[in-house]
Structure 1
Amino acid sequence: MGIIQYLKDYYYQLPLLVQVVWLLIFFFILYILILISYIGFIRGALRSKNKERIVYKRFFEDLLFKYIVASSAEERDIILVKFNRQISKKFRRKVLVSSLFGVMMQVSGEKEESVKKIYSESGLEQLAIKDLKIANKWNVIAGALVELMRFKIDSDEAKNYAKRYINHEREEVRRKAHLYLISLFGFKGLFFLDELTEGLSEWIQIQLLENLRKFDDREMEGLHSWLQSKNDTVVLFALKLARIYKRSEVKDDLFELLSHENVNIRTYTIIVLVSLLGSEAKERIRPKFNALALEEKICFLELLEKEATPEDILLAKENLQNENLELSFLAQKIIAINNSLTMESLNDLQSRQLSSVALKSKK
């Protein structure tokens, strides 16, 4: 007590500024000690959790192996009961799901079906669907969608609950819902485009197209309605589908999109039309060239570079002196690349056009 009293008296005899500095040093040291203790506690808890995870992972993998090699239905039922007892604990459920998926990625055929059966009959499938049904946290919903997608659960119940989230406020949840529907139902899963009010980002469009490659595009229905959607991102995605899968039967819808209010849609429509219909599309677009927006003009001239017709060369010549430098450069490039079209053929084309105009004026 004497030492504490001495230190106290000494502290109060110090100038005010020095007292404040010592007080700050004391609190800083106290904060550091608390922080070190907290970090030590967290590290200890993580080590403990990791040990527990390893123990349960081995336990579940051992049960899974026994289930796969079990010779009778009774043995399998006993093992399923053991799995079922573990999933009430959230941590153990996560470890079990992770273990099942890890094994499922390494097997195929009957063994893969056995893993799926464990997932369904152990109650994990219903827990994931329950999360879709009642969960409010976006990360829980996204996790349930990923889980059902990984284990290829294509039941009507799972599909109907997944549909709820196609327009969720969080992009991550929407993305998982879209991927679930595509991964499990292919082109038939694109029905969500009819009800989509939120935007489809470029990243999700790439993922959807990548997943669709595994399915037969003959199952695709609804392209006509998607091209007429009020959601611009749906229209752009539908245009990509039309181009990739060469759906020239929707050409009437595509030509209508040339007058769409969104210039990005009009520009990409030009690309799709020329890709699908070639000269037919160019014949329809070329006469309206001067009425096109700058982005559309640039896009159209870029498409003429490789296989320009005499009519395309004339259009390029008309734009050689264009005040827009990019259009002028593209026009020069078209003429330079397609120099096999001689001046004689161009002059012949011009004379035929002039003769046609003269005949019409006489009539």
Structure 2
Amino acid sequence: MLSLVMALVIVVLLYNFIEYKESARATAWSGIIDKKISEVIVFADEEIPVDSQFNILVTIKSFRTLFLQRLVDSEKKFSGAAKNKIRNLFKEYNLSDVAIRKLNQKKINLIAQGIRELAVMDQEEAVPMISLFLSHPSHQVYQEAQYAMVRLKGFDGLHFLDTFSSKISEWQQLQLLLSISSLPVDSDITIERWMGSANDSVVIFTLKLIKKFQLLSFYSKITELFNTSSDEIKVKGIQTLMSLDNPETVAYLSTIYKDQPEEVRIEILRVIKVSKDNSCTGLLKHELLEGNTSGIKVNAAQGLYSLGHQGYLSELARREDLSEELIQIVKYALQEKVC
């Protein structure tokens, strides 16, 4: 029994010693790599002396893996010429093989990491390999592949949306939008196709794309969404229409109001409040008195307050024939304390 305990102690000590050595080595290597990166960024090529130690280390597989990791981390901190020099280091030492090897691994995190590294280092020649992961069962992998495609190819990298059936998360939509800096001249055909997608998240992303680039030509296409689309798409459609700054939008929304479900009606009331369009006063008064839910009434009251009808609301607050709930809603809109 004692010998078994001693053996376990020795194993633990050996493990800790190995871990310590690896940690110490990684720390030392990180210092060497960071020095190399700093020299490349600060000095011209002809001013950098030959570093024989670095050239030996860079042949070691684990050093190359750490080197690539440090380059990717550094790339985020710089822009312009410095960023280009970091990418040149990547090419000079042929670190693409390190990232590509990760694509052949079974571990999800390594595959995603390899895709990210190739994208960050602008390896457009890796697009065919990365595109194979757009249908990967792991959301971590296919989301990384989506982002990489857009980063490397811009708008053209979004063509996976043509057949994409899974939900695109809000975070992923934001990442994709941030990666699109311009649209090709023939983008309208593609965008219109996405507007008709059976995938709600694709339609919602497309609406955000229209909003970002102020694609006024899609105004009528957006209005068509209110006939058959989901509530979420309709709400996003309202927000997109308002962003396009068409003076007829509020009037249009008031005409379709009665045919919409509650969530969409509430969104219409919210935009009326923000627009301060007095042509909708009648609708707001009707919904305050006759609305079938508290949410509708609250937003109608707030809309009336925003449009400057405090006097009307004050009169309602003094009426004794109205329900206690309605009085409280009106007082809330008037920013009075409800007792």
Give the TM-score, by structure 1 length: 0.71
CA contact (8 A) 1:227 1:235 kept: yes
Name the residue aligned to 1:46.
19
> Percent identical across equivalent pairs?
20
Q: CA shift at 1:262, angstroms?
A: 1.5
Name the counterpart of 1:85: 59
Please name the residue that 1:271 is paired with. Answer: 239
Alignment of 1:1-363 (within 5 A): 39-60=12-33, 71=46, 82=56, 85-86=59-60, 89=61, 91-101=62-72, 104=75, 112-132=83-103, 134-153=104-123, 155=124, 157-212=125-180, 215-217=181-183, 221=187, 222-319=190-287, 320-339=289-308
Query: Structure 2 CA distance, aligned partners of 1:193 and 1:235?
Result: 10
The change in CA–CA distance for 1:225 and 1:33 in structure 2 (over 3 A counts) is: farther
Distance between the aligned counterparts of 1:289 and 1:65, measured in 2? 61
Note closer, same or farther for the CA distance 1:53–1:282 as it changes in structure 2 (3 Å cut).
same
Residue 80 of structure 1: how far off its partner (Å): 9.5
Matches of 2:193 and 2:241, distance apart in 1: 18
- Which structure is larger by alpha-carbon Rg, 1 or 2? 1
Hey, what does 1:14 align to over in structure 2?
A: none
3-state secondary structure, aligned to 1:71: helix
- TM-score normalised by structure 2 residue count: 0.75
Query: After the TM superposition, which segments of 4 or more aligned residues of structure 1 sit over 4 Å from their partners?
Result: 29-39, 58-70, 78-84, 102-112, 217-220, 340-343
Structure 2 Cα separation of the partners of residues 198 and 275 of structure 1: 27
CA displacement at 1:146 relative to structure 2:
1.5
Write the distance in 1 (CA, Å) between the matches of 2:105 and 2:170: 28
Contact kept, 8 Å, 1:80 with 1:121, in 2: the verdict is no
Shift of 1:219: 6.5
Distance 1:110 1:324, change over 3 A: closer
Q: 1:97 Cα shift?
A: 1.2
**Could you say if the C-alpha distance between residues 105 and 264 of structure 1 is closer, same or farther in structure 2, counting changes exceeding 3 Å?**
closer
Greater shift after overlay, 52-61 or 319-328? Answer: 52-61
1:305 to partner: Cα distance: 1.0
> 1:355: which partner in 2?
none
> Quick one: distance in 2 between partners of 1:334 and 1:104?
48
**Structure-1 separation of matches of 2:4 and 2:249:** 73
Task: Give, in angstroms, the shift of residue 267 of structure 1.
Answer: 2.0
Q: Which runs of 5+ in 2 are unaligned?
A: 313-339
- Name structure 1 gaps, 5 residues minimum: 1-25, 344-363
Aligned-pair distance for 1:117? 2.9
Post-superposition shift, 1:115?
Answer: 3.5
The one-letter code sitting in structure 2 at the alignment partner of 1:53 is A
- Are the counterparts in 1 of residues 195 and 203 from structure 2 also a CA contact under 8 Å? yes
Number of equivalenced pairs: 307
The CA RMSD over aligned residues, in Å, is 3.6
Query: Distance between the aligned counterparts of 2:194 and 2:292, measured in 1?
Result: 38
Alignment check: 8 A CA contact 1:175 1:204 kept: yes
Aligned residues of 1:119 and 1:125 also touching (Cα < 8 A): yes
